[in-house]
Structure 1
Amino acid sequence: MNEKPVISVKNLTKRYGDVTALNQISVDIPPGVTGLIGPNGAGKTTLLMTLLGLIFPDNGHAQVLGYDVVHDSLEIRRKVGVLHERPNYPEYMEVEDYLTHVADLYETSRNPAELLEMVGLQAVGHRRIHSLSGGMLRRLGVAQALVGTPEMAFLDEPTSNLDVDGRDEIINLLGELSKKYGVHFLLSSHILTELERICDNVVFIKNGDVIGTGKTSDILSDYSHNRYRVTCSDSLRLAEALQEREEFQSIRALGTKVVTFTFEGENMARIWDNVEAICKEIKIDIDSLGKSETLDDAYREIMK
């Protein structure tokens, strides 16, 4: 049985003068956690702003949680929480006082103490916002997005400017919140390894067009077919050598240590023998070889 989409977009167009930011896009986004993926300038922010009813489309229609983005924009903003990429906070206000102030803006809201516990900030409720670490500020942003008991939340780069541990904490937090409270999330992020870990579905957008969408597991399966990843001591030299062998296709050097490629067939021993022989020939070391199943790989294929 197909689930009713939480977001439905039909032939949506938005122009800024001569620039077409959204070009007759159509997409249905199912319940759960969805990643919105695309390069800078692809139209992601325009799409989010349109779905929130903050800007109106020139043509087409869109619904969020069953509400029309033009006629029911206020109701959408009551039902959807938002975390902007660069939120501004009153730095000298205490954390719990700030959430209390935000809660007063809603007809129905969560208790600030409950919010602090939900996002793991219960120990810092009486600290001033300017004293919080980057990770704590992102947690505060998530708490703010959930103040009004939303059914859904839009999060723009929720892990920006965080170290590896901080990003892990936020991604794990969002996964827990989705499961425990049933909140649907639409995440816009450039860090695809994070989206791969948490997203049920992904939407790829480029030049104002949706060019790919589906379950994350299906996308990984479809675009990892016959794709392999080798770690070696010199990726540029190995990639150059592989280019001379017609059985290796779609060759990419990623940094200085990793090469990905496609190779017809599933015989890993045969592939290993071929790559190992090439590495010996050009006098570089091979460390590992395996299937490559990442959103990074899918992204590069889809964005061609």
Structure 2
Amino acid sequence: MRNPSLLAIGECMVELSVNSQNSLQHSFAGDTYNSLVYAKRWQPEIDCFFLSGIGQDMFSSMMTKHWQKHGIHSQFTLSSPEHNVGIYAIKNDPNGERQFDYWRKNSAATQLMSLIEQSDSESTWPHFDLVYFSGISLGILAEDDKSRFIDLIKRLRSKGSKIAFDPNYRPKMWTGKAHAIKWLEAAYGVSDIVLPGTEDHQDLLGHTGVEEIVSYCTKHQVSELVIKAGKQGVFAFENAQAVCHVPFTPAKVQRDTTAAGDSFAGVYLACRMANKDVQSAIEQASGAAGLVVQHQGAIVEHSIFDVFRQQFTQAL
């Protein structure tokens, strides 16, 4: 019997951060990639694959080795001879909130659709049980490539893959709200599971409550909706019917919010792939996110996360 398979699509970049000695240290991160790492850690039996574009530069080689160390398969990642991987620098304020600087324009990941078509590799892909992408996965692409990307998702869905989407709205990635809404709705229209934050919908659409978000997503035929509502907690709906509400539990300290949503998404999807019910999946995902914000950087040290996972799941 084969393992369940999860394909995440997006961009992994070189992450530069300042350490306690005021020197730069590097790692590798990106929203859907981060989610994939946390999914693999929470449910190690899942086969996790990353679809992206990389270059032939030194950092690209280091990056794929880094993925392998985390149990992420890279055989569907495509290499560009002309484009390198993106880079971002991160700094946190005393409350753990993030400040970013990016060098990602024309990165290899932005060329993904051309790389797929040039390699003619799609026909060789196996079936994936779940495919996950985000608003950032779409936002980095040229306009024509966005349409081609949505068509790719439609093809994967037609072959039986379940599709999950996190809006992860970043205003700078869009020419304006109307532009972002156009592609948000295109993504919702091809997704089975959607994981929006209330801030995404308030900033984009002026929605002021969970009920408005449910109504909007129902219109776009989202069957499984998990709304992250900050201090109000997390609300879940299936086919517009309320399933559960999980209250917010604040972390003991908040050092870095970089991958809170990413870790939530990864653990939630991993739990659902392991046939956990929605409430249990949210509780486990919220617990993981609460740990992640207590540590610097997008990816928490493996040993720390594993100890937490063992203790958390044993207490269930």
TM beyond 0.5 = no
For the pair shown, which has the larger CA radius of gyration, 1 or 2? 1
TM norm structure 1 = 0.30
TM norm structure 2 = 0.30
Greater relative CO (CA pairs within 8 A, separation 6+): 1
More helix per residue: 2
